Structure 1
Amino acid sequence: MNSQDTFKFAETHEWADIECDGLVWVGISNHAQEALGDVMFFQAPKLGQQVKQGEAIAAIESVKAASDIHAPISGEIVALNEAMDATPELVNEKPYGVWLFKIKPHEGNLAAELAQLMDLDKYNSTAGG
């Protein structure tokens, strides 16, 4: 996993980390976990599911709210973080160290879709983070 300084962020508070193998790891921002409070449950997308950028594909629930998780890029869900089943509160402890799922991007779309996301500085100024 890379540093949060290299992550790309969606307006809907997901981060995307592009790894050496071409997969995109997805998690939620510190701003999102603070707004949610103590996370109690994560409903993951389905393995093999085809997703489109901006589409609500998963959900996360806390003691005070529930929130959709959106796909920051288009592609196929190829891995789920199984630790989230038993210990979803890990997101509160280290939001930039816990991924929720991995997406294999669709060929040809990645550069254009990444250009629609924000770097950390822009995200922090937008999210108040």
Structure 2
Amino acid sequence: MKQMKLENFQKAVLRLAEGLDEYHAHPSTTARDGVIQRFEFTFELAWKSLKVYLQDQGVGADLQFPRQVLKEAYATKLIDDQTVWIDMLTARNTTSHIYDDRQATAVMADIENRYLTALQALSALYA
């Protein structure tokens, strides 16, 4: 199960990058919204895979919530920029509950400029 979660996360990161490529080739609000949707499930898989990884390492058996997992992952140096990950959590929470075109545009910029790189770095750690 652990291996499956990690593999699913790695596949999601690849699909997110593909979505960005598609958006750049054919920019539209529909493509942008698709990238944001991919980001949401990629982030979900990211924090859940971190949780499994940490617990497998004997750290944080009581971790339940994304923010807890991210703080522990930073403390154990699995992620190197806690701010980016907390910002991702905030973005995921915002985009999955409220739709606002300005927020979507801002989240899209962050996915391109900040989040994808962090997600790819974590994916490489599991390779």
Q: Would you say same fold, with TM above 0.5?
A: no
Per the normalisation by structure 2, the TM-score is 0.36
Looking at secondary structure, tell me which structure has more helix per residue.
Answer: 2
Looking at secondary structure, tell me which structure has more strand per residue.
Answer: 1
